[in-house]
Amino acid sequence: MPALVNYGGENDFCSGGSFYTNSADLGRLCSISSQVDVYCPPSKRARTSAPFIFGETEVEQNKQPSIHVLPDECLVEIFKRVHGGRERGSCACVSKHWLMLLTSIRKGEYESSKMVKENIESSSDDVEMFSSEEEDGYLTRCLEGKKATDMRLAAVAVGTSGHGGLGKLSIRGSTSSRGVNNFGLFAISRCCPSLMVLSLWNVPRVGDEGLSEIAKECHLLEKLDLCQCPLVSNKGLIAIAENCPKLTALSIESCPKIGNEGLQAIGKLCPKLQSVSIKDCPLVGDHGVSSLLSSASSILSKVKLQGLSVTDFSLAVIGHYGKSLTNLVLSGLQNVSEKGFWVMGNALGLQRLISLTITSCLGVTDVSLEAIGKGCKNLKQMCLRRCYFVSGDGLVAFAKSTGSLECLQLEECNRVTQYGIIGVLSKCELNSLTLVKCMGIKDISLGVPLSSPCNSLKFLSIRNCPGFGTVSLAMVGKLCPRLQHIDLSGLCGITDVGLLPLLQNCEAGLVKVKLSGCLNLTDEILVSLTRLHGATLELLNLDGCRRITDTSLVAVADNCVFLSDLDVSRCAITDVGVAALSHAEQLNLQVLSFSGCSGVSNKSLTFLEKLGKTLVGLNLQHCNSISTQTIEMLVESLWRCDILF
């Protein structure tokens, strides 16, 4: 002790000899000097600041940090006292083990919000911002494909819990062996009670256990979307019904284990349900569908039924109890007959129905369609797809029955003829008419005087109807003088002579014109179009009109003032036409497409750069005369424009 007190800092720390008499032991001690603080002067005793365990031949030191030897229970208690979301996120980044422990803690098990607030007031402002908005649930996350794993979902759960709260979660295409399973939903349920929207698409490893955990913890859930979830059954759906009374929207598609029991629980226990979509679920039948609508508290406004084995009974229930329905979609209901649709209309319960879409239902006939018209007095939008037993007579009777129809769309209704179309236009104040692949329309004169014009029609779309030609266009032009939007894509039979009367009769001025695939149109009709409607035209699509040349672009440059979208793909356009567009001072094109125009070459570089001052989209795909170097120069100079090449 006196020696230690009188130590002067020289080599007189100890007057004895070496601590180790064996030179091998001394070398062994010096070899660990990089790990411990060792004072080792010649022939002096070593002084160390770390404990050693000395043996005959080895020196060992315990290098494991003490926190790693704590049991999980202690770590969980420590984590519960970590208040800020940023701090929890930092803890989760330490290891997978810590991340798993954090996901096991429910949000309510952390310190009270009052204590958090007191601690935050003395900390930084950014932490206060994150913690004060924990319950908002405004964050949205989407995991797709290989990125959709349990580990990533756990990280999302911990990371969002203290940064506003997760409000919307979408998981899509998690089909790999490492994809999301029930554990991932366990983590979300514990850490994100603010979840309001959950979408699971093609997630084959998630079952009732995961969905039940979401139901137990996420009582604010409002929208649930299940698609191709083969392990989810009625049990999971019943758990949602029992624990999520705020559910407003439910969508189920291709879930083979969900049937009537689950839907009955939803109809009974979810009084706020407003939207239901059920598609391709073989176990869903009349009892499940009827329970959704017949509930005393039902306020359903949107219903979609597709590919189900329901019968006339379900449609009768819809017609009688669907007093709140505004949108109804019925598709592929093969077991529903004409009687079912007739009863649905005559039940007179669909007085609020605004939009009705029927696809591939053999029970829709002229008789049932007329009954629907009588029972849906406020119907404004009607869409019939592949309803092969509806004729022109049934369409006219339907138009007479409902006097409020504004939009009519017919696709592949091959028994509908010109007579039916003309009759509908004369009976209804239609605003929009769409015909797609209606093979029953023939280009023949009716031989009867046309009725009074339909001044309300502004949108006309006739696509891929090969029988619609010059005579039909002339009749439409006389009947519809107030057209502003026309789409005649795929009408190979129309010519300049047939289209000109339609253009001349459009008194209001055309705004959007789509003539894609009209192979027989020439520059002559384009010159007339720009001269008659250049002051109002905003969109012009000439894709595939192979007889359109630079002359049309010169006419566009001279006459069009407000044109913002021009598509001349696969037309006979050259550098001359591009130059004409670039010299038009009044043009402010935003979207321009020359796809497949082999006549456009490197010479158009300066013209395209000039046009690019206003462009946000430029399509140069399959322009074989433009080199890669020219494309690179355009990409560099037009950095604000999205260029396809």
End-of-domain residue from the set 83, 104, 125 = 104
Confidence of residue 453 (pLDDT cuts 50, 70, 90): confident
Bridge partners, residue 141, by sequence: 169
What pLDDT, on the 0 to 100 scale, is given for residue 428? 84
What pLDDT, on the 0 to 100 scale, is given for residue 39? 44
Confidence of residue 448 (pLDDT cuts 50, 70, 90): low
The torsion angles phi and psi of 496, rounded to 5 degrees, stand at -60, -40
Q: Find the radius of gyration of the CA atoms of the chain.
A: 37
Please state whether 330 falls in left (phi above 0), alpha (psi between -120 and 50) or beta.
beta
Asked if the structure places residue 502 within a domain, the reply is no
The answer to whether residues 119 and 83 touch, using CB atoms and an 8 Å cutoff, is: yes
Range of the domain at 532: 522-644
What whole-number percentage of the chain has pLDDT above 90? 61
What pLDDT, on the 0 to 100 scale, is given for residue 89? 65
How many other CB atoms sit within 10 Å of the CB of residue 600?
24
C-alpha atoms less than 13 angstroms from C-alpha of 336 in its C-beta half-sphere: 33
What pLDDT, on the 0 to 100 scale, is given for residue 132? 34
The answer to whether residues 195 and 170 touch, using CB atoms and an 8 Å cutoff, is: no
Q: Specify the CATH number for the domain of residue 621.
A: 3.80.10.10
Asked if the structure places residue 615 within a domain, the reply is yes
The answer to whether residue 483 scores a pLDDT higher than 60 is yes
Token pair belonging to 306: 């597709």
Bridge partners, residue 373, by sequence: none
What pLDDT, on the 0 to 100 scale, is given for residue 92? 67
d(CA 279, CA 91): 43
Lowest-confidence segment of 25-39, 429-443, 481-495 by average pLDDT: 25-39
Query: Tens of pLDDT along 376-426?
Result: 999 999 999 999 999 999 999 998 888 889 999 999 999 998 888 888 888
How many other CB atoms sit within 10 Å of the CB of residue 509?
14
The answer to whether residue 25 scores a pLDDT higher than 80 is no
As a whole number, mean pLDDT of residues 565-586 equals 95
d(CA 298, CA 289): 12
Confidence of residue 454 (pLDDT cuts 50, 70, 90): confident
End-of-domain residue from the set 104, 123, 151 = 104
Bridge partners, residue 358, by sequence: 330, 384
The answer to whether residue 90 scores a pLDDT higher than 50 is yes
Unique residue bearing structure tokens 């709140």: 324
The total number of structural domains that make up the chain:
2
What pLDDT, on the 0 to 100 scale, is given for residue 11? 41
Closest CA to 593 of 611, 610, 576: 611
The torsion angles phi and psi of 390, rounded to 5 degrees, stand at -95, 125
Asked if the structure places residue 573 within a domain, the reply is yes
Query: Tens of pLDDT along 501-521?
Result: 999 999 889 999 999 999 999
**Ordered alpha helix ranges (H), 347-452:** 366-375, 392-401, 418-427
Asked if the structure places residue 359 within a domain, the reply is no
Lowest-confidence segment of 55-69, 243-257, 271-285, 361-375 by average pLDDT: 55-69
Bridge partners, residue 54, by sequence: 59
Asked if the structure places residue 559 within a domain, the reply is yes
What pLDDT, on the 0 to 100 scale, is given for residue 233? 96
Asked if the structure places residue 601 within a domain, the reply is yes
Following DSSP, what letter does each residue of 522-583 receive, concatenated?
-HHHHHHHHHHHTTT--EEE-TT-TT--HHHHHHHHHH-SS--EEE-TTS--BHHHHHHHHT
What pLDDT, on the 0 to 100 scale, is given for residue 163? 67
List all residues 6 or more positions away from 305 whose beta carbon is below 8 Å from its beta carbon.
Answer: 278, 279, 289, 314, 329, 330, 331, 333
How many other CB atoms sit within 10 Å of the CB of residue 205?
20
Confidence of residue 616 (pLDDT cuts 50, 70, 90): very high
What pLDDT, on the 0 to 100 scale, is given for residue 265? 96
What pLDDT, on the 0 to 100 scale, is given for residue 430? 92
Helix (H) or strand (E) holding 433: strand 432-436
Closest CA to 202 of 234, 227, 239: 227
End-of-domain residue from the set 104, 119, 145 = 104
d(CA 353, CA 598): 51
**Ordered alpha helix ranges (H), 104-259:** 113-121, 125-132, 150-161, 182-191, 208-217, 234-243
How many other CB atoms sit within 10 Å of the CB of residue 229?
27
The angle formed by the CA atoms of residues 272, 293 and 248, to the nearest 5 degrees, is 25
Closest CA to 538 of 470, 587, 494, 505: 587
What pLDDT, on the 0 to 100 scale, is given for residue 67? 67
Asked if the structure places residue 600 within a domain, the reply is yes
Confidence of residue 450 (pLDDT cuts 50, 70, 90): low
Unique residue bearing structure tokens 């506003």: 164
Chain-wide mean pLDDT for the chain? Answer: 84
What pLDDT, on the 0 to 100 scale, is given for residue 555? 96
What pLDDT, on the 0 to 100 scale, is given for residue 462? 95
d(CA 402, CA 373): 5
447 exposure class (CB count in 10 Å sphere: 0-12, 13-18, 19+): exposed
Query: Tens of pLDDT along 203-230?
Result: 999 999 999 999 999 999 999 999 999 9
The angle formed by the CA atoms of residues 583, 584 and 587, to the nearest 5 degrees, is 135
The answer to whether residue 121 scores a pLDDT higher than 50 is no
What pLDDT, on the 0 to 100 scale, is given for residue 111? 58
Q: Give me the amino acid identity at 129.
A: M
Query: Tens of pLDDT along 138-174?
Result: 788 999 988 888 888 888 877 777 666 789 999 998 7
* Total residues found in the chain within this entry: 645
Q: Give me the amino acid identity at 309.
A: S
The answer to whether residue 440 scores a pLDDT higher than 60 is yes
Confidence of residue 547 (pLDDT cuts 50, 70, 90): very high
The answer to whether residue 4 scores a pLDDT higher than 50 is no
Strands (E) located in 56-176 = 59-60, 139-144, 166-172
What pLDDT, on the 0 to 100 scale, is given for residue 418? 86
d(CA 564, CA 590): 5
As a whole number, mean pLDDT of residues 586-596 equals 95
Unique residue bearing structure tokens 């019904």: 241
Q: Choose between 146 and 326: higher pLDDT.
A: 326
Asked if the structure places residue 360 within a domain, the reply is no
